Chain A
Amino acid sequence: MYPFGRGVTRLWPYLLFALPMAFYLMFLLGPSIFTVIYSFTDVINIPGKAYQFVGLDNYKDIFFAGNSAERIDSIKRTLQFTFIVTIVQNGLALLVAVVINQKLLGDKLYRSVFFLPVVLGVAVVALIWTLMFDPINGPVNKFYSLFNYSDTFFGSFTNSFGYIIFVQIWMYMGHSMLIYLAGLQSVPKDLYEAGYIDGTTRWQSFKKITFPLIAPAFTVNILLSIIGAMQTFDIILATTDGQFNSRTMAYDVYKETFRGSLEMGLPSALSVVQFLFILLFVIVAIQLLRKREVEY
């Protein structure tokens, strides 16, 4: 009833949480609120400089300025990225997880191999693939040349974004796989035995037993993929640096904030728009995914 005792000692948990809470308010909630406020102003990154409210001007700039076609392209590209990454990454991860879960010989090794890219970090992954995709001496182009084809990979206007998607999936597939594996381990074995007695095929037992029961893992993975994909900019920065038609919304925010002008209003507005997009997608996804989670 009183795990921390009675009297003043009861306050300990509150005190312990006060500090993280303060940090949370200061470094996350505070800046977030200021971002929204700044998105309606013409503030520039010089301390002490006065700023004025300019209404929706920054939002208008995003969609109607001279270069707004590029921003709209970024939004389209973000959606494309999100859909492909979410579907392919989860599909592959689920498949690999189910296979590894069959108690294969050396399943621990496979697990670590698939999980390795996540541990490596974006910079190393980008370096690996930049070397693999070296257009002149790279092994992938040597392989392509067997089919009389060659590519400039991260230097190609038409294909670079596809390669970025590939690298992103390669990198985070192991992460999703691990969550699926954890989900698979929690499925009670007796259900399969009961199914076996009833004469289910393998596909049926996957569809009717495994899939519904790993629904929570599925929900977590899909949400993580959507949010992660919509926020991705690090892999883009490290491979093409936003060139060759590979900018996404998140990259635009970064670019406008740190490499554009000193103005902070437009990038703030961009962040707000990006946030709204993520919010919308997450709400829709949760609605759809919650429905199929089952109790057992």
Chain B
Amino acid sequence: MTRKLAGLLALCMLMALLAACGGNGANKPTNGGNTPSTTAPAKDKEQPSGEKKVIKMLGWKQSTNNTVIESINKKFEEKYPEYKVEYVTTAPDDEYKQAYKTRVPAGEVDIFADLSAMRLSPSDWTPGAKVPDWQQFIDNGLIQDLSDQAFIKNYNEADIKDGGTYQDKVYAIPAGKVAMGGLFYNKDIFAKYDLKVPTTWSEFINVNEVLLQNNVTPIAMAGKDKWPVKLAAMNLQAQLLADGNQSEFIEGLWKGTSKFNDPDAIEVLEKMKTIQDKYTINGFMGIDYGTLTSYFTGEKVAMMVNGVWEAGAVQAAKPDMNFGYFPLPATDDPARIKLIGKYDMTWYVTNNGGNTEGAIKWLEFFSQPEIYQEFVQATGFLPVQPNIATTEFLDAEVQPYMNNFEVAYEIKMINRDNIGQHLEAEGIHTEYLAPGGEFKTAKELADVQQKEWEAAAPK
């Protein structure tokens, strides 16, 4: 009898616990459905300072970005004392993707930035393509529609259309553009050996050869994190694939008219192999992105493959350094030189975090030209609002190439689901080439890529 009673008691306690837990979980989606202003007071426990409504913001660690966003948050809180911004950051890239994938659906975020613009949305010519996270979020009603907000007009129409519009509605604000398909170069070293900024592939090879003859290691690249290698490769892709029309190449992949082992795609791999084998610092496959810049500022190399966002870090590490930036040329026709890039930091406002209204207020505050100007100056992004001054470095080194600016392969490419590792993350992965990798020739890698592409085709 007593045993039964004990069991019953235990069961009761368990039920009570489960009910409490289940109740919380069940509340979340309904919160998201209601208007945020009515649910906000119910979330009192998340408001430590009593009256203040918390705006939960998620971002990734990058010192210059974090500093300027914190400063903007401070100004925002001064202007709107009823709000408090809680800015949480995680490690960049994969860690960050992990963070927003778990926290946004759980209703723990009011505003967050994606690492790039809306992209990779399946088209009618891409049957069975991977549906990106942002699209699943929007399709399931987690993201706030911003179409009617007045501050949208502060931005260039084309950029909002390319970077934040889905099914004719604005869901996101791209905070800026970055160029990333070029190399930083040490102007003093270039001057010492009488070298000019190369505008063709042959000139580029010549620069490297002259440096080698003078015992200067030409290039540093961060192979350990893989993606920094992709930056250089993507600049070659933009110029070489389908004679400089990579969109046609990508569509051709899906339709079967172009292949990863076509001569133009192989040329990209071969030129990357030349750069990696001959001109890049020995053991670059062991260099991680965090230490890459120290090789450049420490003058161990004359050039560094990196995105323009790193200019601030270079200046901070060595204020007197005389450096520039140029796009990696792929052909011997200087007219075809291109610089690739992408939208960076695209803001989304969520529906289920509990303070949608505050998040929109923040975005409105952020979008004011004077605040936006501060942001762009600090991050070194290329502005997406008209009449915004950029940094000295961007004006001098990057703007001249902006006429031939193109969105990178990784942004244009729509990948297949369950794609193999030689094509994953919309990349071409030249790090698999020998000596670092297992493929002795570009052709071998290209054949494997094509095989993986076909294997992932929907059955």
Contacts and interface: CB of A to CB of B under 8 A. Distances in A.
Contacts of B437: 157
Interface stretch (B56-64, B280-288, B375-383): B280-288
A155 B280 CA distance: 15
B106 interface: yes
Interface string B106-148: 1100000000000000000000001101001100101000000
Nearest to A141: B283
A157 B436 contact: yes
Contacts of B438: 157-158
A200 interface: no
B403 interface: no
Contacts of A48: 28-29
Given A65-B418, A136-B287, A259 B436 contact: no
Interface stretch (B14-22, B188-196, B243-251, B258-266): B14-22
Interface stretch (B340-348, B356-364, B394-402, B450-458): B450-458
Contact of B14 (A11, A18, A47): A18
A94 to B, nearest CB: 34
B429 to A, nearest CB: 10
A204 interface: no
A67 B456 contact: yes
A18 B393 CA distance: 66
A26 B18 contact: yes
B72 interface: no
Interface range on chain A (Cβ under 8 Å from partner):
35 or more
Contact of B105 (A45, A133, A150): A45
Interface stretch (B3-11, B41-49, B74-82, B232-240): B3-11
Interface stretch (B95-103, B163-171, B205-213, B384-392): B95-103
A156 B285 contact: yes
A81 interface: no
Interface in A12-60: 14-15, 17-19, 21-23, 25-26, 44-49
A66 B6 CA distance: 54
A66 B13 contact: no
B223 to A, nearest CB: 6
Given A258-B101, A261-B133, A155 B286 contact: yes
A128 to B, nearest CB: 15
A29 to B, nearest CB: 11
Interface residues of B, number: 53
A134 B294 CA distance: 14
Contacts of B214: none
A70 B17 contact: no
Contact of A261 (B98, B130, B224, B457): B130
Contacts of B455: 66-67
A156 B452 contact: no
Q: Which of A66, A135, A157 is the most central at the interface, judged by chain B CB atoms within 10 Å of its CB?
A: A66
A156 B14 contact: no
B416 interface: yes
B14 A25 contact: yes
B105 A67 contact: no
Contacts of A258: 98, 101-102
A75 to B, nearest CB: 15
A18 B9 contact: yes
Contact of A11 (B5, B106, B107, B131): B5
A22 B25 CA distance: 18
12 contacts: A25-B14, A46-B136, A47-B106, A66-B417, A66-B420, A67-B419, A69-B420, A70-B421, A135-B283, A136-B286, A261-B130, A261-B133
Interface of A: 10-11, 14-15, 17-19, 21-23, 25-26, 44-49, 61, 65-70, 133-136, 141, 150, 152-158, 241, 243, 258-259, 261-262
Given A26-B14, A136-B283, A156-B285, 20 more contacts: A10-B2, A11-B5, A23-B17, A44-B136, A47-B106, A48-B29, A65-B417, A66-B419, A69-B420, A135-B286, A152-B224, A155-B283, A155-B286, A156-B286, A243-B224, A258-B98, A258-B101, A258-B102, A259-B94, A262-B105
